[in-house]
């Protein structure tokens, strides 16, 4: 478990009203892959580097397991090399003048308490095997692809068998396809070892795909913390709803009748929203994901929204449509559709009241 309490960081010379990290507290449970997600400059790297001991906080506490590694009040600041962590950076930072084996074994060969040669060999071989690089051991580290170099970096971070693995945008130098494969590999290794990992990314798809828990940050603060499904399906703030995944953001008014709660929008209503706390007449924000609509080509005998297709994107496993409706553009995703629609086609949309996220208007 990593426990962070009241952590602050302001870089020297920066505006005193703008802390890079502004009083955050959270816990990372053992064995989890915990992701720090958020837009550029929100404080992800700073937070990670403070956990690593590479950046000194201005205030707060950091505990790894039962060990205080930083405590401003008690003047405790354990240096980075004494913390039980391994770290992978965005740039692979493999050493070009060394072989793959030498790169991975390096952390075992520095500092005090160096293990015996055969132990170094054994641990290095185990780390190489873990990332699937056994057969590359004697290659110069530069004679590898980007993905392989990142695996060297991962093996090197794991070779000392740390309690905590920290990764800062480890995949951002790789092309899209490789990124997807590598994120699965990282997740697999993390689960195989059962190691606690803190993973920094600004890529929401990556965060959704591999995390046990996502902590969304903005301006040095925590916006929301939860499991990927909760962050995606039940966001608690407009920032979360729009930053993670695509959301149609609408405004509406609550209409309560005897049996049902409906939200009236300029497109039509969302009928049967299950929310007891809404009051008749309240102004609300409404978020609907592209997949939260049933799309009809013929007008069904129920209350639907009418729109015109303005743009079609074929994704292989689905179609994405832009639909003009009541003067705004809605994004609609349809799976398993036999014949694609065309620009100009009139369609009828049925929003799913169970999927709609409703928030009181600010």
Ligand X SMILES: Nc1ncnc2c1ncn2[C@@H]1O[C@H](COP(=O)(O)OP(=O)(O)OP(=O)(O)O)[C@@H](O)[C@H]1O
User: Pattern of binders to ligand X over 165-204, x per CB under 6 A?
Assistant: -------------------------------------x--
Q: Phi then psi for 164, rounded to 5 degrees? A: -130, 135
Residues β-bridged to residue 332: 321
- The closest alpha carbon to 334, from 354, 312, 307, 361, belongs to 312
Residues that bind Mg ion (CB under 5 A): 45
Q: What gap in Å lies between CA 319 and CA 297, rounded to an integer?
A: 14
Burial class (CB in 10 A: 0-12, 13-18, 19+), 97: exposed
104 or 171: CB nearest ligand X: 171
Residue 296 binding target from ligand X, Mg ion, none, CB below 5 to 8 Å by type: none
**DSSP of 224-269:** EEE-HHHHHHS-SSHHHHHHSS--EEEEEEEEE-SS-EEEE-SS-E
Q: Any contact of residue 35 with ligand X (CB under 6 A)?
A: no
Q: Any contact of residue 42 with ligand X (CB under 6 A)?
A: yes
Q: What gap in Å lies between CA 30 and CA 352, rounded to an integer?
A: 37
Q: Any contact of residue 115 with ligand X (CB under 6 A)?
A: no
47 or 248: CB nearest ligand X: 47
Q: Tally Cβ neighbours within 10 Å of residue 135.
A: 9
167 or 286: CB nearest ligand X: 167
89 or 293: CB nearest ligand X: 89
Residue 311 binding target from ligand X, Mg ion, none, CB below 5 to 8 Å by type: none
Nearest approach in angstroms of CB 208 to Mg ion is: 19
Residue 41 binding target from Mg ion, ligand X, none, CB below 5 to 8 Å by type: ligand X
- The closest alpha carbon to 322, from 336, 309, 307, 340, belongs to 309
42 or 157: CB nearest ligand X: 42
Structure token pair of residue 214: 């996502």
Nearest approach in angstroms of CB 81 to ligand X is: 20
Nearest approach in angstroms of CB 198 to Mg ion is: 13
- The closest alpha carbon to 201, from 229, 173, 235, belongs to 173
- Pick the binder of ligand X from 4, 20, 309, 347 (CB under 6 A): 20
Residue 202 binding target from Mg ion, ligand X, none, CB below 5 to 8 Å by type: ligand X
Q: Any contact of residue 289 with ligand X (CB under 6 A)?
A: no
3-class secondary structure for 92-120? CCCCCCCEHHHHHHHHHHCCCCCCCHHHH
Full strand arrangement of the beta sheet holding 305-314: 293-296, 346-351, 305-314, 318-325, 328-335
Q: Which 197-256 residues touch ligand X, going by CB under 6 A?
A: 202
Nearest approach in angstroms of CB 14 to ligand X is: 5
User: Pattern of binders to ligand X over 145-164, x per CB under 6 A?
Assistant: --------------------
Structure token pair of residue 198: 């803190």
Q: Which residues bind ligand X (CB under 6 A)?
A: 11, 14, 20, 38, 40-46, 202
């Amino acid at each position: 478990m990593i426990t962070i309490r009241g952590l602050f960081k302001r870089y020297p010379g920066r505006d005193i009203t703008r802390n890079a990290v502004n009083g955050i507290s959270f816990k990372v449970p053992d064995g989890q892959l915990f992701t720090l997600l958020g837009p550029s400059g929100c404080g992800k790297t700073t937070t990670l580097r403070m956990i690593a001991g590479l950046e000194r906080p201005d205030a707060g506490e950091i505990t790894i397991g039962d060990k205080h590694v930083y405590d401003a009040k008690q003047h405790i600041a354990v240096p980075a090399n004494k913390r039980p962590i391994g770290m992978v950076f965005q740039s692979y930072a493999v050493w070009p003048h060394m072989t793959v084996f030498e790169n991975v074994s390096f952390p075992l060969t520095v500092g005090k308490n160096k293990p015996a040669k055969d132990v170094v060999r054994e641990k290095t071989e185990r780390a190489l095997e873990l990332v699937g690089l056994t057969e590359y051991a004697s290659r110069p580290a530069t004679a590898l692809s980007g993905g392989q170099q990142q695996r060297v970096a991962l093996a090197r971070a794991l070779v000392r068998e740390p309690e905590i693995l920290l990764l800062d945008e480890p995949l951002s130098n790789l092309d899209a396809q490789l990124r997807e494969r590598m994120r699965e590999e990282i997740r697999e290794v993390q689960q195989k070892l059962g190691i606690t990992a803190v993973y920094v990314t600004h890529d929401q798809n990556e965060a959704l795909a591999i995390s046990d828990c996502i902590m969304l940050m903005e301006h040095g603060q925590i916006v929301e913390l939860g499991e990927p499904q909760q962050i995606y399906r039940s966001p608690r703030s407009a920032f979360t709803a729009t930053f993670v995944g695509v959301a149609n953001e609408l405004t509406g008014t609550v209409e309560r009748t005897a049996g049902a709660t409906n939200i009236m929008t300029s497109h039509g209503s969302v009928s049967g929203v299950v929310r007891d706390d809404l009051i008749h007449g309240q102004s609300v924000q409404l978020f609907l994901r592209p997949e939260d609509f049933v799309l009809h080509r013929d007008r069904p005998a129920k209350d639907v929204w009418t729109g015109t297709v303005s743009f079609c994107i074929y994704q292989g496993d689905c179609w994405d449509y832009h639909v003009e409706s009541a003067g705004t553009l809605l994004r609609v995703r349809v799976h398993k559709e036999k014949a694609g629609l065309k620009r100009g086609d009139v369609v009828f949309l049925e929003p799913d009241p169970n999927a709609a996220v409703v928030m009181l208007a600010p």
